[in-house]
Amino acid sequence: MAIFTSGPTVGQISGRIGGSIFSHNRGGPYMRNGTIPTKATSAAAMDAKSRLAAASMAWQGLDTDTMLAWNAYAVQNPAINRLGNKISLTGHQTFVGNFCRCDRAGVSTLTLPPVAESPDALKTLTLNLDVGAGLFDVTYTVTPMAASLHLWLKACVTQSLGVSYYQNLMKLISVTPAAQVSPYDFQDDLEDRWGTLQVGHGVAVDAFVFDSATGLISAPRRAIGVTVTT
């Protein structure tokens, strides 16, 4: 489903309407014909489907009072969509998102909604992208993270250095153990999702802070670079 911010006609639009896909690149917004995959068979896709099914089953197992608590939490804590706008989710949607984050991180899922705020975003993020003998890692602050905080990384690899819009390309590549110390080598994680890296590939990384005590996640900090070799 496409989302947009209305202007005199349409100010911003991103996503699918019928058979059309709306996105952005270096030249600005554009539209293309879309296709509907008949079957997703990658390990990551199957894992995500299984996680969503487990989350929905867990929701059905909640009592009425707990469901109402999640509904109230969702109203009081709107989400941010791809265009940076606040949107109100249902209690079910909020619970499923929280459940899936915890499950993906390999930590205990929550029954009741969290009472704490989302963790603060990383203060700094720097990439080293040497596919040879040098460093290939993310360096960040604050480090080390607190006892319940994890580094949550989304990334994409591009063939063209002219790409400037990355939001629709990002894939979750890794969630580190708690209290991760900087720097973190993520080359294996990246190549598991995107294939073998070559010199000159563009790499964009969105780094979040995930709190396993609450199931909440921070705003992202982005860094962009180009792979080199030594």
Per-residue confidence (pLDDT) for residue 158, from 0 to 100: 94
Name the residue among 97, 90, 99 with its Cα closest to residue 61: 99
For residue 29, what are its two tokens? 């917004």
Q: pLDDT by residue (tens digit) across 122-157?
A: 999 999 999 999 999 999 999 999 999 999 999 999
In the predicted model, is pLDDT for residue 213 greater than 70?
A: yes
Does pLDDT of 26 surpass 50? no
The CATH superfamily holding the domain 124-226 is: Immunoglobulins (2.60.40.10)
Chain mean pLDDT for the chain: 89
What are 66-93's pLDDT values in tens digits?
Answer: 999 999 999 999 988 776 788 889 999 9
Residue 166 has a pLDDT of 87
Length of the chain: 230
Q: How many CA atoms lie within 13 A of 118 on its CB side?
A: 16
Interval 106-118: pLDDT, tens: 999 999 999 999 9
Contact 152, 206 (CB under 8 A): no
- Band of pLDDT at residue 204, cut at 50, 70 and 90: very high
Ordered by start, the domain boundaries in the chain are: 3-33, 43-105, 124-226
∠ CA 4-10-16, nearest 5°, is 45
